[in-house]
């Protein structure tokens, strides 16, 4: 399966879409083998570990519209740029997007750091120095992508 970069908000699987589909649509597509996690009374996550997918919706949203999709291993598909979780590196991301994107990190709620672009972010594990705030792009550039986040 190829995920078109410009179609991320449009469609992940042609049936479950960010900002358009509800969690009910995801359950219809992927079944009932998921775990639900609540995040600070703000959002709920339906985690399909066997697929390597998580779908998030806001608790206050009565329509339960998906606003984030996270992709992680064992998800086996690639983006239209050939990027794959657990295989592609930050160098591959920078090459595909022709820039470094915006660096993001929230160590309180997420162990990964990200390089974010319009509607997509690529998560990776920081080196020990990176976790201490001593980020060195040359050291981190060969890190494999651990997660792709669509928003």
Domain that holds residue 104: 80-150
Q: Which of 26, 55, 72 is the last residue of a domain?
A: 72
Q: Which of 23, 40, 72 is the last residue of a domain?
A: 72
| Overall number of domains in the chain | 2
Give CA–CA dist 56/109, Å, rounded: 15
65 in the same domain as 87: no
Q: What contacts 28, CB < 8 A, 6 or more positions away?
A: none
The whole-model pTM stands at 0.85
11 in the same domain as 56: yes
63 in the same domain as 106: no
Question: Looking at the predicted structure, is the pLDDT value of residue 66 above 60?
Answer: yes
Q: What is the pLDDT of residue 2?
A: 43
- Residue that is written with structure tokens 């597509």 in the block: 29
- Please state, for a pLDDT cut of 90, what percent of the chain lies above it: 53
Q: Copy the structure tokens of residue 74.
A: 């064992």
92 in the same domain as 63: no
Q: Which of 29, 55, 72 is the last residue of a domain?
A: 72
The pLDDT-based confidence of 13 (bands split at 50, 70, 90) is low
Contact in structure between 124 and 103 (CB atoms under 8 Å) = no
| Phi-psi label, residue 40: left if phi above 0, alpha if psi -120 to 50, beta otherwise | left
Q: What is the pLDDT of residue 1?
A: 40
144 in the same domain as 85: yes
Highest mean pLDDT among 14-23, 29-38, 70-79, 111-120: 29-38
Contact in structure between 76 and 67 (CB atoms under 8 Å) = no
> Can the peptide bond before residue 74 be classed as cis, meaning omega within 30 degrees of 0?
yes
Does residue 104 or residue 34 have the better pLDDT?
A: 34
């Amino acid at each position: 399966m190829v995920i078109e970069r410009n179609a991320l908000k449009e469609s992940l699987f042609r049936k479950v879409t960010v900002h358009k589909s509800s969690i009910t649509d995801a359950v219809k597509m992927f079944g009932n083998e998921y775990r639900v996690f609540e995040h600070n009374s703000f959002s709920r996550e339906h985690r399909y570990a066997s697929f390597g997918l998580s779908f998030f919706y806001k608790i206050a949203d009565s329509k339960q519209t998906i606003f984030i999709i996270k992709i992680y291993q064992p998800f086996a598909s690639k983006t239209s740029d050939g990027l794959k979780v657990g295989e592609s590196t930050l160098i591959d991301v920078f090459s595909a997007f022709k820039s470094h994107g915006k660096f993001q990190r929230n160590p309180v709620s997420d162990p990964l750091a990200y390089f974010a672009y319009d509607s997509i972010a690529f998560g990776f594990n920081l080196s020990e120095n990176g976790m201490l705030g001593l980020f060195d792009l040359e050291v981190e550039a060969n890190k494999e992508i651990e997660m792709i986040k669509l928003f």
